[in-house]
Chains A and B, each alone.
Chain A
Amino acid sequence: MSDPSRRMLYVAIAASGALAAAGFAAFAIATSRTADNTTDADRSVTVTAETCQPNAIEVPGGLRTFEIINTSDRPIEWEILDGVMVVAERENIAPGFRQTMKVRLTPGTYAMTCGLLSNPRGTLTVLPSEEAAAAAGNVTLRSFLGPLSEYRVYLSMQGAAAIKAAETLRDAIAAGDIDAARAAWQAARAPYRRIEPLAFRLSDLANTIDPQAAFLELREDDPAFTGFHRIEYALFDQNSLEGLQPVADRLVADLTTLRARLHEVDMTPDLLMALPADMSRMLAESRIPNGEDTYAATDAADLQASLDGVEKLTGLLTPLTDPVDAPLAADIRQATDKARAELDSDAPFDAEARARLAPVFAGLAETLGKLPATIGVD
């Protein structure tokens, strides 16, 4: 932990705004009529024994109504599919009957199922419209629920992976196997680095899990020198397992506590949007110029894992960013791809590499820093 003074930045969202069905969130209202009634549907689709008629439909984006008429001799279901996902469906339409279905559609190409699984699917093309653009630009609390939940899952999964790998490390040290311990040390670093965007904000734990000797008064001899780098120092510099067992035990315990504490964090949209830029900035301003894995020289692998963690976040935010600011979404992709490409270089992680990487990550941080204002829950 290079900067223990950073404080928690949780900001509660001020207002949740009006509800809008976003993304492929769809709702459907069913009514049923016998075949001789008529409806005000935008489109009528007849499902025969073999196909949909018409089998290719175009509608403008927004709230659309479909009327489905079953002229086959079996009960059918009619679905709109976005890839493999069902956007909306109307089930069990009896032979000779028709039903209507309302669904909010975003522009794109969809498939329609047409009765039996063996029947060919139809195509539904949803065209851009003012109505769809207005809905997409309305970022609500609701649109954050999926990304926030998924980030919690990621923290839980990676947190568990870090604990498991640290236990392997502890057991290798107990068994006196320094080669196995070195391999296990590296395996445990990656999941920790992936969740570090949030983990480093829990400064008490970060100070025992990841302190660097350079930031401690007595450096390697400082009693506060614990955690990953203390173990790294023993394994890669001292080539000794002496006195390491309690340090490894403590690391397992601290990572276990970390996972539990992360589970307690109230995830908010503001927090989610702040994390990737803050992490990238810390890498650019501290980790990269100062170097971190002094003894094992594994900075490049650590940075790869950090970038995984940043990309998880930006990937979760992309569906929100794209509709409101497509150029920014593209800039973010470009900046992360550039960072990834620079890290993939085989060049040694020397002063020259640090000088080359620091501005790349600073640029990434600057681009990511535009997220909160753009998405508009600042």
Chain B
Amino acid sequence: MFSLKPTAFAVSITMLAGAPVLAADPSLDLVAPLADYKIYVAENTAQLVADTDAFVEAIKSGDLETAKALYAPTRTSYEKVEPIAELFSDLDVTIDARADDYEHAEADPNFTGFHRIEYALWVEDDTAAAVPFAERLMADVTDLDARINALTFPPDVVVAGAATLMEEVAATKISGEEDRYSGTDLWDFEANFAGAKKIYALLRPLITDDAAFIEKTDGNFDEVDEVLAKYREGEGFKHYEALTDDDRAFLSSRVNTLAEDLSMLPGKLGLS
């Protein structure tokens, strides 16, 4: 998501002051996990195209209930690849920007993508209003999938991506502002954590000299999973309003810690 991240600044300062010992050079051992990560992303963008096709069909056929039911699950494959959204900033805007990014908010003619459709389905209560945005979304995710397949992923963007996304979750997602019309934020959270954890899990075997870091980070991901598990319902999650203040505060603290800790990955792997 294209949005503002208050913690980015705090994390950067920590990196300067904390001065973790940096690995000297990147190792060729990074090649395999980087390749595996791209395959993970390509699988997700292929899934996104398939899921969006069904979502768009429901909108076009005027089936409001099915369209609403497909909104959150369709988004999850996009949310999983958000750690590297910097690589397609134009499509991140047209697919996933929020109303606040525009001068005229929901009324802005440039407001498109998932959240514009979400607005049509939940607030305007109107599939017909969503049709042009659904068609645009289909074209955009198809473009995204093709681009991902053709792209050589820059290693530094991938390795930094886990922290980048956690910072964004902390700054502009945990508050429930992303899926404000549908309340499906918990679906996004889970996908965001899964996407960031994928990068961490692929790189973890290369971190051989810091057991404390591994233990702490594993623990934080596990604790996040445990909290989210309490809100599972059917194939997905309860409405964001069900999240208690305590659990939100807990998630927030874990996300901030993860953002800070994962920001050390580039240094640990010689990519800072």
Q: Which residues of A contact B (CB under 8 A)?
A: 13, 16, 19, 23-32, 75-77, 79, 81, 84-86, 89-92, 99, 116-118, 140-142, 144-150, 152-153, 156-157, 266-268, 316
The binding surface of chain A is classed by DSSP as mixed
Q: Are B25 and A92 in contact (CB under 8 A)?
A: no
From B29-37, B72-80, B226-234, the one touching the partner chain is B29-37
B271 contacts chain A at the CB level, 8 A cutoff: yes
Total number of A-B contacts with CB less than 8 angstroms? 124
Q: Are A152 and B32 in contact (CB under 8 A)?
A: yes
Bound-state Cα–Cα, A31 to B32, Å: 35
Q: Are B31 and A267 in contact (CB under 8 A)?
A: yes
The 8 Å CB contact of B89, one of A79, A146, A148, is: A79
Please, what's the 1-or-0 string for B253-272, where 1 marks a CB less than 8 Å from any CB in chain A? 00000000000000000111
| Chain B residues positioned under 8 Å from A150 (CB to CB) | 35, 38, 152-153
From B5-13, B128-136, B211-219, the one touching the partner chain is B5-13
Taking A19-B270, A92-B171 as known contacts, 11 extra A-B pairs with beta carbons closer than 8 A to each other, sorted by chain A number, are: A16-B25, A23-B154, A30-B9, A90-B8, A91-B5, A91-B171, A142-B271, A145-B155, A146-B34, A157-B39, A157-B149
What distance in Å separates the Cβ of B85 from its nearest Cβ neighbour in chain A?
9
**What are 30 A-B residue pairs whose CB atoms fall within 8 Å in the complex?**
A13-B28, A19-B26, A25-B156, A27-B272, A29-B12, A30-B9, A31-B13, A77-B4, A81-B89, A84-B90, A85-B87, A91-B8, A91-B9, A91-B167, A91-B171, A92-B6, A117-B93, A117-B97, A117-B110, A142-B25, A142-B271, A146-B152, A146-B155, A149-B38, A150-B152, A152-B31, A152-B35, A153-B35, A156-B35, A157-B42
| Chain A residues positioned under 8 Å from B34 (CB to CB) | 145-146, 149
Q: Are B102 and A92 in contact (CB under 8 A)?
A: no
B88 contacts chain A at the CB level, 8 A cutoff: yes
B108 contacts chain A at the CB level, 8 A cutoff: yes
What distance in Å separates the Cβ of B145 from its nearest Cβ neighbour in chain A?
13
What distance in Å separates the Cβ of B62 from its nearest Cβ neighbour in chain A?
30
Bound-state Cα–Cα, A142 to B25, Å: 8
The count of chain B contact residues (Cβ–Cβ below 8 Å) is 45
B123 contacts chain A at the CB level, 8 A cutoff: no
The binding surface of chain B is classed by DSSP as helix
| Chain A residues positioned under 8 Å from B90 (CB to CB) | 84
The 8 Å CB contact of B103, one of A13, A116, A140, is: A116
Q: Are B39 and A117 in contact (CB under 8 A)?
A: no
Bound-state Cα–Cα, A152 to B2, Å: 30
Bound-state Cα–Cα, A61 to B135, Å: 41
Q: Are B153 and A149 in contact (CB under 8 A)?
A: yes
| Chain A residues positioned under 8 Å from B42 (CB to CB) | 153, 157
Q: A91-B4, A145-B31 are in contact. Are A19 and B12 (CB under 8 A)?
A: no
What distance in Å separates the Cβ of B139 from its nearest Cβ neighbour in chain A?
15
Q: Are B171 and A147 in contact (CB under 8 A)?
A: no
Please, what's the 1-or-0 string for B35-51, where 1 marks a CB less than 8 Å from any CB in chain A? 10011001000000000
What distance in Å separates the Cβ of A215 from its nearest Cβ neighbour in chain B?
34
Q: Which residue of B lies closest to A85 (CB)?
A: B87
Q: Which residue of A lies closest to B155 (CB)?
A: A145
Bound-state Cα–Cα, A266 to B26, Å: 15
B81 contacts chain A at the CB level, 8 A cutoff: no
Bound-state Cα–Cα, A118 to B93, Å: 11
List residues of B (149-197) whose CB comes within 8 Å of A's CBs: 149, 152-156, 167, 171
Bound-state Cα–Cα, A75 to B101, Å: 11
| Chain B residues positioned under 8 Å from A116 (CB to CB) | 101-103
B16 contacts chain A at the CB level, 8 A cutoff: yes
What distance in Å separates the Cβ of A111 from its nearest Cβ neighbour in chain B?
10
| Chain A residues positioned under 8 Å from B171 (CB to CB) | 91-92
What distance in Å separates the Cβ of B186 from its nearest Cβ neighbour in chain A?
24
B91 contacts chain A at the CB level, 8 A cutoff: yes
Bound-state Cα–Cα, A153 to B88, Å: 19
The 8 Å CB contact of B26, one of A76, A90, A91, A141, is: A141
Bound-state Cα–Cα, A80 to B155, Å: 19
B86 contacts chain A at the CB level, 8 A cutoff: yes
Q: A19-B25, A117-B2 are in contact. Are A92 and B8 (CB under 8 A)?
A: yes
| Chain A residues positioned under 8 Å from B152 (CB to CB) | 146-147, 149-150, 316
| Chain A residues positioned under 8 Å from B6 (CB to CB) | 75, 91-92
What distance in Å separates the Cβ of B116 from its nearest Cβ neighbour in chain A?
13
Q: Are B26 and A153 in contact (CB under 8 A)?
A: no
What distance in Å separates the Cβ of A12 from its nearest Cβ neighbour in chain B?
9
| Chain B residues positioned under 8 Å from A152 (CB to CB) | 31-32, 35
Q: Which residue of A lies closest to B152 (CB)?
A: A150
| Chain A residues positioned under 8 Å from B154 (CB to CB) | 23-25, 146
Bound-state Cα–Cα, A23 to B87, Å: 14
| Chain A residues positioned under 8 Å from B2 (CB to CB) | 117
What distance in Å separates the Cβ of B76 from its nearest Cβ neighbour in chain A?
23
Residue of A91, A141, A157 ringed by the most chain B CB atoms within 10 A:
A91
| Chain B residues positioned under 8 Å from A153 (CB to CB) | 35, 38-39, 42
Q: Which residue of B lies closest to A81 (CB)?
A: B89
What distance in Å separates the Cβ of B224 from its nearest Cβ neighbour in chain A?
22
Bound-state Cα–Cα, A30 to B8, Å: 9
| Chain B residues positioned under 8 Å from A147 (CB to CB) | 152
Bound-state Cα–Cα, A25 to B97, Å: 25
Q: Are A118 and B12 in contact (CB under 8 A)?
A: no
